[in-house]
Amino acid sequence: MEQKKAFDNIKDGDEIIRVEGLEKSFGSLHVLKGIDQVIKKGEVISVIGSSGGGKSTFLRCLNLLETPEKGKIYFEGVDITAKNVDINLHRQKMGMVFQHFNVFPNMTVESNITLAPTLLGKKTKAEARDMAAELLKRVGLYEKKDAYPQQLSGGQKQRLAIVRALAMEPDVMLFDEPTSALDPEMVGEVLVVIKELVKTGMTTVIVTHEMGFAKEISDRVLFMDGGIIVEEGTPEEIFEHPENERTKEFLSKVLY
């Protein structure tokens, strides 16, 4: 009950995620070396940086797909790293889209979308189907609703993955390199969907290598390297006037 109340009070511009002193290692590899970050409702944040810099791990820590070793993560006012927290409840409010789509191959397009909302008691079967239809129309996949993922292209799979996450009516969307595994000609169709989503005011954190896209949609850009956020700022600050040497070096090497 208390958690619900905390969420209801959050307005645009209020803090929705707070990360304090986040650290994570894989074996002897220290991937995150202390991240502090406040994400506000409605904000669109891009995380850029070279591979191995900890971007994906940072994102995956936000919904505890990776368990942090140190530090705290508050989501809608609740410390989700605390021991007695039911993380499944909070994950319902955090949609995630993966590099490799991870759509369920054994289910139809429609069932991919309706599974979680019906199973978790958010919607009846009929309501979930209606919503799936509406979401599929939004991303141009309605004709495919009875198809299986195997029959879809990469871009279509990723659009499906996006609406599958949206069907839970999340408060935040996390994108983990959503276009990295796509054929070049399919990148556009997925970016369009994300752009549309961002326009609706969805709080979004996106790890991406699409610099042009990051520049266009973000309110704030984080440049990560060596397990820390080296520099952050508006797209203009980061892309036009980077101050840190590592940021400059990284941006000089990528084409966009």
Which residue lies nearer to another protein by CB, 168 or 230? Answer: 168
Q: How far is the CB of 211 from another protein (least distance, A)?
A: 26
Interface segment toward another protein; rule CB under 8 A; list 103-111, 134-142, 151-159, 211-219 = 103-111
Q: How far is the CB of 54 from another protein (least distance, A)?
A: 18
| Interface mask toward another protein for 145-174; x: CB under 8 A | ----------------x--xx--x------
Which residue lies nearer to another protein by CB, 156 or 247? Answer: 156
Q: How far is the CB of 5 from another protein (least distance, A)?
A: 20
Q: How far is the CB of 100 from another protein (least distance, A)?
A: 5
- Residue 63 has φ and ψ, to the nearest 5°, of -110, 20
CA distance 220 to 46: 7
Q: Which residue among 38, 82, 119, 254 contacts another protein (CB under 8 A)?
A: 119
| Interface mask toward another protein for 62-91; x: CB under 8 A | -x-x----------------------xx-x
User: Angle CA(62)–CA(88)–CA(69) in degrees, nearest 5?
Assistant: 40
Residues that bind another protein (CB under 8 A): 63, 65, 88-89, 91-92, 94-96, 98, 100-106, 115-116, 119-120, 161, 164-165, 168
